[in-house]
Amino acid sequence: QSALTQPRSVSGSPGQSVTISCTGTSSDVGGYHYVSWYQQHPGKVPKLMIYDVSKRPSGVPDRFSGSKSGNTASLTISGLQAEDEADYYCCSYVGTYTFVVFGGGTKLTVL
């Protein structure tokens, strides 16, 4: 199972919005409603930010939103803040045997 495709880096200024894409296939992103997004600051543990494509766990700011169209999922961060600078990974369920596949990660820089 190949990793999901994410841009290596994105950037934005404080207050702006950025969108990170995550492209897979009909066997993963396009086939299930089980896409999640993780935020990882340097040297820290990944944190679940979005699950079920667009749901936010308790405590995650509503500036973070998720969506999906076809085989591509997206994470949008609005009202960028300096603390949002981190690596972001998408993840998709891919069925019983392989179960999950991650994207390669996107480094978000807040200018």
CB atoms under 10 Å from CB of 42, counted, come to: 8
CA 61, 18, 106, 55 dihedral sign is positive
Question: Closest separation between CB of residue 13 and another protein, Å?
Answer: 26
Instruction: Report phi then psi at 10, rounded to 5.
Output: -140, 160
CB of 57 to another protein, least distance (A): 6
Residues making contact with another protein (CB under 8 A) = 1, 3, 34, 36, 38, 45-46, 48, 51-52, 57, 89, 91, 93, 96-105
Cβ distance to another protein smaller for residue 16 or 44: 44
C-alpha span between 89 and 96 (Å, rounded): 21
End-to-end alpha carbon distance in the chain: 35
* Of residues 16 and 109, the one with the C-beta less far from another protein: 109
| Cβ nearer to another protein, comparing 4 with 80 | 4
Taking the least distance from each CB to another protein, the nearer of 12 and 103 is 103
Closest separation in Å from C-beta 23 to another protein: 15
Which tokens sit at 107?
A: 């480094």
